[in-house]
Amino acid sequence: YLKISKLALAFAIIHSKPPGKSCKEYTEHLAKTVSEQDFGWKSKVEALEAEVLRLRQELLLNKICPRFCLEKGKRDVSAETLLDQECINPMSYSSQLEDSGCDVSNDYAFDSLGIASDFHQSEHVDTSKRWLERIPPLNLCCTSKEESLTAPVQFLQHLLEIRKLSEGGILQADFTELENDSFTICNSVSQLLDGLTVFYNSPKFPVSNFLTEAVCVLISLITDTKLSNHVLKKCFKKLEEFKKNLIQIILKSSDVNRFQALHAVSHTLVLLGRNNILRNSLISLLLSEVRQFAEQLLQAHQIQAMYDITQYENIFPLCMILEQLLQNETEESSISSSDYDGEEKHKFLKNLDQIILHLSDEFPLFSLYLWRVSVLLNSAQIQ
């Protein structure tokens, strides 16, 4: 049947081709016309699917809490009053990340993102909880990259607001509806993760407040004990894929202006790692990448071969993230040190002393980071 169909199509093309055109040219023209029509239909289908998801989001929110009015951004009066009292406008990032990335002209603006304090303060701060309290109403004037994030961020933010207001006794909410409609929340989280991945792959600076809020909403959702259960059940693999993508973005980035962009990605990974469920797998991923790079660097050093200087520079953000997560892990007495014991930890510690010994003269800073990570791993095991 397929052969007959192809033969019939070939005869139809030959008989209908206009004069002055070869069969090949006419076939290519027809193929281009059909593909353009398919692209148009795909765009319409995607738009309709997005609209269906938006309606499902509104319906689910209405089922959870009918009093939480979404029309034109209006809310219950008592809810609005409470949120206005607690919302703190985020710091302006207009002066942030403007130059080549090799220098930061405004240290205060850079620290306001929380990166510097995250990497250099040993005190554990529950940033996710604090950010939940400072999320302002969303600004819907978005760029093209942000448009895909608008619907999921709005939905998840309203979900968090309902959760918080219900805890305060201001609203009555029935979150058992999430069990009946897990598709909506999981699809929203997937859209948010995909949109963030697109942004981090080709970021534009300064980072808009909307994208900063998108990360805040994601972290708050994962941190919330009641809502995170619904998310992690269905979206755990997607979250794992998201973490792997962020790590690869750091390792493979080769732009001249990449360093401050890598700090933004690193900060997101640190926040993800503060969730007890996501932390262990993230530590394993980081241990694996750092170990593989150390082994490759040692091999190149022993045979006096060239090594990738860009990847060498990019490995340090991973080392800093790993060190901070391990430090937070050992400081939390409620978390057992055996939680992140596993194959990757043993692989990392195996022959590590020999690697440090051979690399310490040529690569002292990297060797120091390897030693610091090993100390944190061993100290946790002793505890």
User: What is the three-state SS of 9-22?
Assistant: HHHHHHHHCCCCCC
69 located within any domain? no
Cα Rg of the chain (Å, integer): 26
Whether 305 maps to a domain, the answer reads yes
Mean pLDDT score across all residues of the chain: 76
> Which pair of tokens denotes residue 338?
């055996």
CA 370 to chain centre: 26
DSSP assigned state of 361: T
Q: Predicted confidence band at 382 (pLDDT cuts at 50, 70, 90)? A: low
pLDDT value of position 19:
87
pLDDT of amino acid 335: 46
| Contact (Cβ atoms closer than 8 angstroms) between residue 222 and residue 176 | no
Range of the domain at 171: 149-274
CA distances from residue 3 to 6, 122, 304 in whole angstroms, order as listed: 5, 70, 59
Is residue 215 situated within a structural domain? yes
Q: Indicate if the pLDDT at residue 129 is higher than 90.
A: no
Span 273-295, mean pLDDT? 90
Residue 282 and residue 270 in one domain: no
Say which residue, 233 or 248, is predicted with more confidence. Answer: 248
| Predicted confidence (pLDDT) per residue in 2-37, tens digit | 999 999 999 998 989 898 888 888 998 888 888 877
Domain assignment present for residue 327? The answer is yes
Mean pLDDT of 161-185: 82
In a domain, 65, yes or no: no
What is the reported pLDDT for 379?
Answer: 78
Number of domains in the chain: 2
- Is there a contact between 254 and 110 (Cβ–Cβ < 8 Å)? no
Least trusted range by pLDDT, from 64-78, 149-163, 164-178? 64-78
Token reading at 63: 């089922």
Same domain as 204, residue 189: yes
* pTM beyond 0.75: no
**Please, what is the Cα angle at 230 between 288 and 287, to 5 degrees?**
5
Angle at 128 between CA 286 and CA 102, to 5 degrees: 55
Mean pLDDT of 250-260: 82
b/e 340-353 (16+ beta carbons within 10 angstroms → b): beeebbebbbeebe
226 within 8 A of 173, measured Cβ to Cβ: no
- The torsion region of residue 67 among left (phi > 0), alpha (psi -120 to 50) and beta comes to alpha
Read off the tokens for 119.
């990497």
pLDDT digits (tens, 9 = 90+) for 290-324: 999 999 999 998 888 888 898 899 999 999 999 99
Asked whether residue 371 falls in the same domain as residue 286, the answer is: yes
Length of the chain: 383
pLDDT of residue 143: 44
Task: Kindly state whether residues 265 and 153 are assigned to the same domain.
Answer: yes
pLDDT at position 137:
39
Which pLDDT score, from 0 to 100, does residue 340 have? 57
| Contact call for residues 288 and 296 (beta carbons, < 8 A) | no
Measured CA to CA, the distance from residue 118 to residue 98 in angstroms comes to 21
Last residue of a domain, one of 224, 251, 274: 274
Per-residue pLDDT tens digits for 335-364 = 444 455 578 888 888 888 999 999 999 999
Q: State how far the Cα of 367 lies from the Cα of 319, in Å rounded to an integer.
A: 11
Nearest to 327 by CA among 265, 365, 274: 274
Angle between helices 364-382 and 276-302 (to 10 degrees): 140
Judge whether 363 lies within some domain: yes
In one letter, which amino acid is 61? L
| 66-123 residue pLDDT tens | 866 544 344 443 334 333 433 433 333 333 444 444 444 343 333 333 433 443 443 3
Range 273-293 average pLDDT: 89
The helix (run of H) or strand (run of E) holding residue 281 is helix 276-302
Based on the domain organization, do 243 and 344 belong to the same domain?
A: no
What confidence score (pLDDT) does residue 271 get? 87
Q: Note whether 168 and 264 are same-domain residues.
A: yes
Answer yes or no: do 239 and 299 share one domain: no
Distance CA(266)–CA(118), nearest Å, equals: 10
- How many other C-beta atoms lie within 10 A of the C-beta of residue 67? 15
27 and 13 in contact (C-beta within 8 Å)?
yes
Helix-strand-coil split of the chain, %, nearest 5: 75, 0, 25
